[in-house]
Structure formats: C-alpha cells, structure tokens
Amino acid sequence: MTSPRERAQLQAQLRQQQEALVRDLLPVLDALDRAEVHWRQVLAAQPVPSLAAAPPLGWWGRLRRWLAQRLAPAPAPALQSSTSLARSDDDGIRLIRDNLLEVLRGHGLEPFESLGLPFDPERMRALGQRPAAAGTPAGRVVEEAVRGYLWRQTLLREAQVLVAGP
C-alpha cells in the first residue's frame, strides 16, 4: 500500500507529465491554425471563371469545341480543380484541428479569446502596436499572432498579440 504522501507525490508527477504533454502539443495546434488561415486565403484568392469573358463562338467554333470534348480522352477521376482541392484541404485541416482540440479539451485545455478585447498583461504578451483603425479604441487587441490557452483553469500559455496604439 502507498502512503497518502506517496499518493500525493504520484498525482503531482502525473499532473506535471500531463501538462508537459499538452504543452508539447500546442505547436501542433498552432501549425493547424496557420494551415487553416492559409487555405482560407487560397480560397479567397481563387478566380471565379466568368462566362462573360469568353468571346462568342460562331457555329464552326461551337462544332470544334463539341468535337474536342467528345474526342478528348476522359480525365482521370483523381484529378480535381484547384478550387475543389483547396476546399478539400481546408476542410481536412479544420477537421483535424477540431478533433485534436476536442481531445485536449477533454483533458482540461481551453483556448481563450483575445481578439477585440482590452489588453490583459496577465494573460497576454504584446508583440507590438498597430495604429488603431477607425472605431477601435487604443489598448484593444487587433491581431492574435499566437493563441493563448488555459489548462485546468490556470494559464498554460499567454496569447501573443498586437495592440491598437494611439
């Protein structure tokens, strides 16, 4: 049998090991956050094909296009348009990130919001200032470079933010 003191020491060691594991997984969450932002930017930059841009075809042009479509080899089913591929990647990244975050939430990890809130030096680290946009009061967080997390109601990692300046 273990004494109450030994049991308390074992629990403290277990808690330290769990905290170390959660802390080691935070860079993975950060990478998934950056990947999600990247794919959103890719999707926002995708040009939308316009039918108005194509010149009108005469009967000979329409016949040539129809013949080319009928005689061309069928595209491989694995090939997708760049837009659908980017959307698929974005969905996959978001799903992986959400699943990982849900598992970590089950073990006591919680992200906290900082964007748009007043700067809190106890939970946030200011990386710099950015001129305040119209309607944004000075001292508010205008950009979150790295998300902050609480683990079992204690600060695990502070958020790294840019603050609106005067």
Q: Give exposure, 81-105, as e/b (b: 16+ Cβ within 10 Å).
A: eeeeebbebbeebeeebeeebeebe
CA quadruple 93, 98, 103, 104: dihedral positive or negative? positive
Tens of pLDDT, residue by residue over 68-126, are 777 776 655 554 566 777 777 778 888 898 999 999 999 999 999 999 999 999 999 99
Residue 71 CB neighbours (<10 A)? 7
Q: pLDDT by residue (tens digit) across 120-152? A: 999 999 999 988 788 888 899 999 999 999 999
Distance between CA atoms of 164 and 166, rounded to whole angstroms? 7
Cα 36 to Cα 31: distance, rounded to the nearest angstrom:
9
* Statement: the pTM of the whole predicted model exceeds 0.75: no
Which two tokens mark 79? 């090939």
Residue ranges covered by each domain of the chain: 1-47+82-107, 109-166
Q: Phi, psi at residue 144, to the nearest 5°?
A: -110, 110
Out of 2.40.110.10, 3.40.190.10, 2.30.22.10, 3.40.50.150, which CATH number does the structure's domain 109-166 have? 2.30.22.10
How far apart, in Å, are the Cα atoms of 39 and each of 26, 54, 142, 166?
Answer: 20, 29, 21, 33
The tens digit of pLDDT for each residue in 147-166 reads 999 999 999 999 999 999 87
Confidence of residue 50 (pLDDT cuts 50, 70, 90): very low
User: Strands 109-112 and 141-146: what pairing?
Assistant: unpaired
